[in-house]
Amino acid sequence: MRIKCEAIRFILPALIIFAIVSGSCDGRKSRSERKGLIPENILVDVLTDIYLADGLLTLPRMRYVVSAKDSLETFSDAIGKYGYTLDEMEKTLRYYFVKKPKSLIRIYDLALGRLSEMESRFVSEATQVRLRMEDLWPGEKSYFMPDPFGDDPPGLDLELKEPGTFSLSFSLTIHPDDQTIDPVSGLFLYYPARPDSLQTDHLSTLRYIKDGREHSYSILKTLPRGATVYLRGWFVDYQNQHPGIEKHMSVRNIRFTGTPVR
């Protein structure tokens, strides 16, 4: 979740107003009344968690999950995580608002600083994930058979140069007039350095439906270190088909992503 600090700046004043109007209107505090206040360092943590909880509650799915609890109870849970109650939070906010407003501003700024740090770290990590999961597919994103230009697409011969986990996803439409018998996938990994009997590693066999509708498929595979590997074959296996059959299908939205092991 991306944190928007400008929007968060409205939360603390609302909490302060809530703390003032919900408690006693008497602004005089004795020394005994200062007992039980939340320490400044913990108050920063509490405020940070309250801001995060409030941000999560703006998400529709989270609102559905916590539909049985109102926002006040959610804030109470965030405070209780540190061993304090909502009443103690109200008392602390009233005290700082009346007696130490400058300290309250400083605490508030510290909480915003932590949120900014979290946001920066999240953006950085998300960027790294996107880079690691870059699309490695070198060809066209869509293929049609029969091909509009008269040539069937070539078979795959993609070298996988790094170990890691890879995902191949695509959408396939096979029309009812397609003459392919029992269409299945024909993708495999080829290890040229292995003995002949171990060179071919067939990927999961996908069985397709000839209903003229687009269906989505994906294959996940983890590759070991120290091996030269090629992704070969084709999305539909034609090895045992009659060479003269008429094809009527399309492959679209091809995406080949990987998370290499560094």
pLDDT at 51: 80
Looking at residue 10, its amino acid is F
pLDDT at 175: 93
pLDDT at 134: 65
CB-side exposure of 102: number of CA atoms within 13 Å?
0
pLDDT at 64: 53
pLDDT at 195: 86
Number of helices and strands in the chain (H, E): 7, 8
Mean pLDDT, the chain cut into blocks of 10 residues (262 residues total): 40 48 46 74 86 67 53 76 86 85 85 74 57 69 81 79 80 92 89 85 85 88 79 86 86 82 56
Report the alpha-carbon distance of residue 26 to residue 228 in Å, rounded. 77
pLDDT at 72: 67
CATH of domain 143-260: 2.60.120.260
Our CA angle for 102, 108, 114, nearest 5°, is 140
Name the residue among 94, 95, 52, 43 with its Cα closest to residue 75: 52
pLDDT at 21: 44
- Which pair of tokens denotes residue 239? 């090895």
- Which pair of tokens denotes residue 228? 């030269």
Q: What ranges do the domains of the chain cover? A: 5-132, 143-260
pLDDT at 252: 92
pLDDT at 68: 46
